Amino acid sequence: MTKPVPRTRIQRKNIALISEAALSVFSTHGFRGSTVDQIAREANLSKPNLLYYFPSKEAIHQHLLSMLMDTWLAPLKALQDDGEPLEEILTYMRRKLQMSRDHPRESRLFANEIVQGAPRIMDMLETELKELVDEKAKVIEAWMAAGKLAPSDPYHLIFSIWSLTQHYADFDAQVHAVLGPGHDDPFPEAETYLTTLFTRLLQP
Amino acid sequence: MTKPVPRTRIQRKNIALISEAALSVFSTHGFRGSTVDQIAREANLSKPNLLYYFPSKEAIHQHLLSMLMDTWLAPLKALQDDGEPLEEILTYMRRKLQMSRDHPRESRLFANEIVQGAPRIMDMLETELKELVDEKAKVIEAWMAAGKLAPSDPYHLIFSIWSLTQHYADFDAQVHAVLGPGHDDPFPEAETYLTTLFTRLLQP
DNA sequence: ATTCCTTTTGACCTTTTGGTCAAAGCCGAG
DNA sequence: CTCGGCTTTGACCAAAAGGTCAAAAGGAAT
């Protein structure tokens, strides 16, 4: 796969450079649409030099995905059984929205991959992700059963949080085209809108 | 662009074949990830034969996008000023959801394009789409001002309908991975869930 | 300063890809 | 049935792309 663990300072630096460049390139062109030359240019390295650190284009992509998966799932992992239900959900939503704002490239990297059928991460979706979602769905279901949240389908609730928050990163081009040039940063409005939405949906 | 208007029966048939094949290929691999050979193979035509009908790969893609744009906008166009507000919105949402179910490839074609920055349809987004959304946003705003819908941001309301409905087509792979193999067709549940969601959000 | 290991690169190879072209095949109107 | 335009294709081309390799350059511990 990737280099085991970076040993030298130079390795750490260059692997970071490559990851950063690859994230930009893969997130805007998808896997097949990106070229090694493009990534190398963006990282200010020669192509053979880049391939000295990663054995192949696929390896870079794989490395990014597994590196970022944890970051990506962190907000859901943080959803606490013992918190105040509505507040927990709203916090989760806000954290996801914040990730869309702060890490739009990561969001688009995953979006590209999944829209195209997730050929390279189906594994992780079916294991790591599914298990986490199953676990948290149970927590939410328990809240609903206890009358602390209005009843609804916990899986679709989670899907709706993903879709609504990631929309602002993944479909950024469309959001900006529709809102027009005068409009900047839709995130504050989005947060207000989504807070209202989930509050009305979930308040018992 | 494309061939003016198909004259012969053979032309009509082959252009239809190519469009169908190209839709499948582009929607699963994105523009840069798709090859002309792939499309030709899928259409059971030789590559030069395909290029007899369309001058280039880009032309096929362009043809598809403009051909499908109308279909794609039809549900929003159908939103009627003089209807019952909440019912109009719910109908719009249901029609969009139905399109995700019946035309997932079209949805993914647009998704691919937009996630990658919409380089080939930014024009249409900034003109056709923006004008339509501006118009309908006014209608919705008027409903809210008249107290027929709970007040909220009409643009974000439209974004949320897009994101929630298209999610089931665009991120199909993820939805299925998370719901697991035992689960089939999430659309009925999705419709119930989304109906509740928008009803609670918008009921005055 | 020497040595040994790490890092970098120019040149090169093969495969894939978008696209061309001339010639052959087909088909329907007269 | 035959002629003229429409359709199809095998062969080909140039550029792009993923990847290799041997040799040069760099760096740090002795």
Please write the tens of the pLDDT for every residue from B161-178: 999 999 999 999 999 999
Q: Tell me the ipTM for this assembly.
A: 0.93
Query: Which residue among B30, B163, B174 places its CB closest to the CB of A125?
Result: B174
pLDDT-derived band at B1, boundaries 50, 70, 90: very low
**Number of domains observed in the structure of chain B:** 2
| Model pTM score | 0.94
Interatomic CA–C1' length for residue B53 and nucleotide C21, angstroms: 16
Q: Considering chain B, what percentage of its residues have pLDDT values greater than 90?
A: 94
The pLDDT score that the predictor gives to residue B6 is: 59
Q: What is the CATH number of the domain that holds A123?
A: 1.10.357.10
Query: What distance in Å separates the CA atoms of residue B119 and residue A51, rounded to the nearest whole number?
Result: 29
Nucleotide nearest to A13 (CA to C1'): C7
User: Residues A124-133: what's their mean pLDDT?
Assistant: 97
Please write the tens of the pLDDT for every residue from A41-76: 999 999 999 999 999 999 999 999 999 999 999 999
Tell me, yes or no, whether A92 and A37 share the same domain: no
Residues 6+ apart with CB under 8 A from B69: B121, B124, B128
Interatomic CA–C1' length for residue A52 and nucleotide C1, angstroms: 30
Minimal CA separation from A141 to chain B, in Å: 14
Tell me, yes or no, whether A112 and A42 share the same domain: no
Tell me, yes or no, whether A105 and A161 share the same domain: yes
Q: Which of B55, B76, B97 is where one domain is finished?
A: B55
Tell me, yes or no, whether B67 and B46 share the same domain: no
Taking an 8 Å cut-off on Cβ atoms, the answer to whether A175 and B159 are in contact is yes
Tell me, yes or no, whether A12 and A100 share the same domain: no
Residue B122 predicted with pLDDT over 70: yes
Set of chain A residues whose Cβ sits within 8 Å of the Cβ of B112: 30, 112, 115-116
Helices (H), A78-186: 85-102, 104-115, 122-124, 130-145, 154-170, 172-179
Taking an 8 Å cut-off on Cβ atoms, the answer to whether A164 and B162 are in contact is no
Helices (H), B4-153: 9-33, 36-43, 47-53, 57-77, 85-102, 104-115, 122-124, 130-145
User: Residues B47-61: what's their mean pLDDT?
Assistant: 98
Chain D nucleotides near the protein (CB, 7 A): 6-11, 16-22, 28
Can you give the residue range of the structural domain that contains A123? 62-202
Please write the tens of the pLDDT for every residue from A167-186: 999 999 999 999 999 998 99
The pLDDT score that the predictor gives to residue B150 is: 98
State the number of CA atoms in the 13 A half-sphere of B56 facing the CB. Answer: 6
Taking an 8 Å cut-off on Cβ atoms, the answer to whether B122 and A200 are in contact is no
Residue B90 predicted with pLDDT over 60: yes
The alpha carbon of residue B54 and the mean position of all alpha carbons in its chain are separated, in whole angstroms, by 23
